[in-house]
Amino acid sequence: IKIKITNIDIPVAFASAFEGEIIRRKNMQVEFDGSRVDCFELVQTKDASEIEDHKIEVIGPDFDEFEFGSKHSIAYIVEVAGKSMQSDFESVFERKFHSYINCIEGVMHTGQRDMIRVRISDTAFQAGFRAKHIGEVLYAKIKNDFDAVVDKCQVKIYTDADKVTELRHNLAIPAFDKRDDRLKSLTDESVDVYYSCILCQAFSPSHVCVVTPERLGLCGAVSWLDAKATNELEPNGPCQVITKERPIDERIGEYEDVNEAVRKFSQGALEDVSLYSIMEKPMTSCGCFECICGIEPFSNGVIIANREYAGMTPLGMTFPELASMTGGGVQTPGFMGHGKHFIASKKFMKAEGGIERIVWMPKDLKEQVADRLNATAKELYGIDNFTDMVGDETIAEDPETLLEFLTEKNHPALAMEPMM
């Protein structure tokens, strides 16, 4: 017998009304910041015999042993078992942590995997909120939302910095790498179906993401494997199977089946969509894209800006300005929201010539994607260290200076056909 958990045993409120709550530094009792110290969140599938249901363990000091306003390491591992549990579901559960933890009054969560940040407010702390309560929330929500596949669940919360570091390197990173490798071996050609995602229709009613192995959702959080797992967990949920049996134009990645799906899921707002072009029938954007790419007419190329980038781009627009003309679920040829991972994909604007068109990216983003992007450039075009040819804000924030730099580097986009 499965029992729905309606009451979560914590000393503060739990409701979606708290999801957008911001905790300022001056009200911050303690912070766990994965960009500064080792932190991670992880779901692991175990054998039922290894799990004591509802066991919540805290390994390391509790919140009252930390100084007001201090930063520490944290890791929470949710171990689950169930006859129908699959390891492909782990990342889908993990993605929910963001919303679960944010629903706690006085607790803020951002990020995922080992780049999380969690803040506990002074008022939540004074109300008695401690480490084990994070476990209570995760336990209750996982058991509730995924009762079809999770029979038993236990949570381990580590605040011992050395232990977190050790587990991050020996357990979490290998687990994340294994998932990424599994996805890396898949191509759009090697699978029989794609998936739709309409999770963002709450904010962007006509938006549909078409998720393929080589093109993840524009939020960066839904890979093809995640969409597949979501579909298996929730057959009537946001991710539906899209067949790809009737290609219309392989060059831009257009399929009759995909068009039909997009028409249906956008309630007729969208006629047709291509998977690989930003000029012809590009995919729509909601509002949560990790990056925006936009055409830069002077160089025949495109620039990419990521959400974290606060400065100016050579298009004379900042990220928010680019976002205001890209979002809303409408097709805007020449501009497209996308996930960070898509930048190194062989399918990135393949119709327009692919990643060779990239002429500018913020330095931080360039560093994040360099290894994968350079490997793709080497494989597709035989170019070594492609990112050395790509401008950034330290090189140029205007089109003229950028063009000088690109000319000096002999950037391949300069010799390509104009995009419009």
Residue 58 partner contact from ligand SF4, Zn ion, none using kind-dependent CB cut-offs of 5 to 8 Å: none
* By the rule CB under 6 A, 209 interacts with ligand SF4: yes
The phi, psi pair for 133, rounded to 5°, reads -70, -30
56: enclosing H helix or E strand:
strand 56-59
Assess 142 for contact with ligand SF4 (CB under 6 A). no
| Nearer CB in complex with ligand SF4: 139/265 | 265
Cβ-based nearer residue to ligand SF4, 29 or 204: 204
Q: What strands, in cross-sheet order, belong to the sheet with 209-211?
A: 209-211, 193-197, 241-243
Contacts of 144 (CB under 8 A, 6+ apart): 4, 5
Which of the listed partners (ligand SF4, Zn ion, none) does 396 bind, with a CB threshold of 5 to 8 Å by partner kind? none
Task: Check: CB of residue 326 under 8 Å from CB of residue 351.
Answer: no
Q: Residues 288, 304, 336, 351: which binds Zn ion (CB under 5 A)?
A: 288
Q: Which one of residues 42, 51, 218, 403 is an interface residue with ligand SF4 (CB under 6 A)?
A: 218
Minimum gap (Å) between residue 263 Cβ and ligand SF4: 16
Of 85 and 218, nearer to Zn ion (C-beta) is: 218
210 contact, one of ligand SF4, Zn ion, none, CB 5-8 Å limit per kind:
none
Query: Cα-flanking dihedrals φ and ψ of residue 195, to 5°?
Result: -130, 150
Compute the least distance from the CB of residue 388 to ligand SF4, in Å. Answer: 31
The three-point CA angle 178-181-185 to 5° equals 145
Binding flag, residue 222, Zn ion (CB under 5 A): no
Question: Which of ligand SF4, Zn ion, none has residue 273 at its interface (CB below 5 to 8 Å by kind)?
Answer: none
In angstroms, give the least distance from the CB of 67 to Zn ion: 38
Binding ligand SF4 (rule: CB under 6 A), the pick from 157, 197, 252, 292 is: 197
The reply to whether 286 sits near ligand SF4 by the rule CB under 6 A is yes
* Min dist. Cβ of residue 95 to ligand SF4 (A): 9
Structure tokens at 265: 């899921």
Please check whether residue 281 is in contact with residue 331, taking contact to mean a CB–CB distance below 8 angstroms. yes
Neighbours of 114 (CB within 10 A): 19
For helices 173-184 and 90-102, what crossing angle results, to 10°?
A: 120
User: Please, which residues bridge with residue 209 across strands?
Assistant: 197
Query: Residue count at the site for ligand SF4 (CB under 6 A)?
Result: 13
DSSP string, 355-397: GGGEEE--HHHHHHHHHHHHHHHHHHH--SSGGGGSB-TTT-S
199 near ligand SF4 (CB under 6 A): yes
Residue 135 binds which entry of Zn ion, ligand SF4, none, with Cβ cut-offs from 5 to 8 Å by kind?
Answer: none
Helix intervals (H) in 108-194: 122-126, 131-145, 161-167, 173-184
One residue of 219, 229, 344, 359 binding ligand SF4 per CB under 6 A: 219
Among 200, 369, 383, 396, contact with ligand SF4 (rule: CB under 6 A): 200
Judged by CB under 6 A, does residue 58 bind ligand SF4?
no
Q: Indicate whether 222 belongs to the interface with ligand SF4 (CB under 6 A).
A: yes
Residues 189-208 that bind Zn ion (CB under 5 A): 200
Helix, strand, coil percentages, rounded to 5, for the chain:
35, 20, 45
Sole binder of ligand SF4 in the list 288, 295, 304, 351 (CB under 6 A): 288
Helices (H), 203-318: 224-233, 256-265
Positions touching ligand SF4 (CB under 6 A) are: 197-200, 209, 211, 217-219, 221-222, 286, 288
Positions touching Zn ion (CB under 5 A) are: 200, 286, 288
